[in-house]
Amino acid sequence: MLEPILAYFRTGPDRPRIVGGPGAIERLYARKRLSVFLSVTLGYGLFYTTRINFSVVKKPLLDAGILSATEMGLVGSALLFVYSFGKLFNGFLADRCNIARFMSTALLLSALVNVALGFNTLFVVFLALWALNGWFQSIGSAPSVVALSHWFGRKERGTRYGIWSASHSIGEGITFAGTALLVSAWGWRWGFWGPGLVCLLAALVLYHTIADRPQTLGLPPIAEYKNEPAAELGGSIGAFQRQVVKHPGVWMLACANAFLSVARYGMSNWGPLYLSVAKDYSGPPPGRCWPSTRWRRSPGR
């Protein structure tokens, strides 16, 4: 039972080098590199639409009496706790996986969880499904980084990684604007259904646009293609991963990122609800496009 699943996600075997001369390799490499880069950047941004959307629907859920503020805090915490452990575990798996299948399946399952939540009104179900969503969400970033390392040379990765990092903001922007419009027009359920349906389609696209390692397509590894020295893996991927885990700098960066995330997720998870409840913010005035240059307060405030 487990072996077919592992075989599906395992990276493919190296294929014989394609024939046709350097020109054929150059064209295929250029096409795949662009496809992979755009896919992981936009694809990981869409992961956020099925994670941050809970922040947008908090006020409607509170007004409808479906969840209390305390219950919403527990639901959100469940995702973050599972997400943190999942990133560690799935990061190790990503080095061994077919990136296209691993990332697209995670987005597909996260989308299905969101669609299911649109039909739910029970706290226990919210808690369980949102925690499960945390696991699927934790898969998104590691395959993206691994894909960049497979398809871009050492001198390129810093720039590509910097651009890819904008995917976080792209996803949050789409969520706070697009999902908010869906919720204001059709209710809180569309805060889950809308992102879920979009990501169902996006997952199918990512399956075809993200590529596995270059060697699985008959291409040379990126180090050879860019005339760079090959990385020394210490004998195996597992040995290299152990070297990384033992490096104190990795843990220092991890702790620094954890403290940054406290402020970051505090704003993104509770900022919309704070603006709605404490500041009476209810969106742009009628007939005016988002974003508005001024807040609309309720009468008498």
Tens digit of pLDDT for each residue in 29-57?
999 999 999 999 999 999 999 999 998 89
Tell me: pLDDT of 262 over 90: no
- Confidence tier at 280 by pLDDT (50, 70, 90): low
Global pTM?
0.83
Give residue 285's pLDDT. Answer: 47
- Confidence tier at 21 by pLDDT (50, 70, 90): confident
Give me 142's structure tokens.
């590691």
Give residue 289's pLDDT. Answer: 44
Q: Which of 174-183, 197-206, 244-253 has the lowest mean pLDDT?
A: 244-253
Give residue 78's pLDDT. Answer: 92
- What are phi and psi for residue 97, nearest 5 degrees? -100, 160
Report DSSP state, residue 12.
P
Strand locations in 89-225 (E): none
Give the pLDDT confidence of 241-256 residue by residue, as tens digits. 777 777 787 778 778 7
Distance CA 58, CA 270 (A): 9
Which is more confident, 127 or 297?
127
- Confidence tier at 94 by pLDDT (50, 70, 90): confident
Dihedral through CA 285, CA 289, CA 295, CA 298, nearest 10? Answer: 20
Give me 78's structure tokens.
């469940």
Which is more confident, 290 or 180?
180
Tell me: pLDDT of 290 over 50: no
Beta bridge partners of 97: 10
Domains in the chain, please, with CATH? 22-226+268-277 (1.20.1250.20)
Tell me: pLDDT of 82 over 50: yes
Mean pLDDT computed over every residue of the chain: 85
Give residue 292's pLDDT. Answer: 41
- Confidence tier at 172 by pLDDT (50, 70, 90): confident
- Confidence tier at 168 by pLDDT (50, 70, 90): confident
Tell me: pLDDT of 294 over 50: no
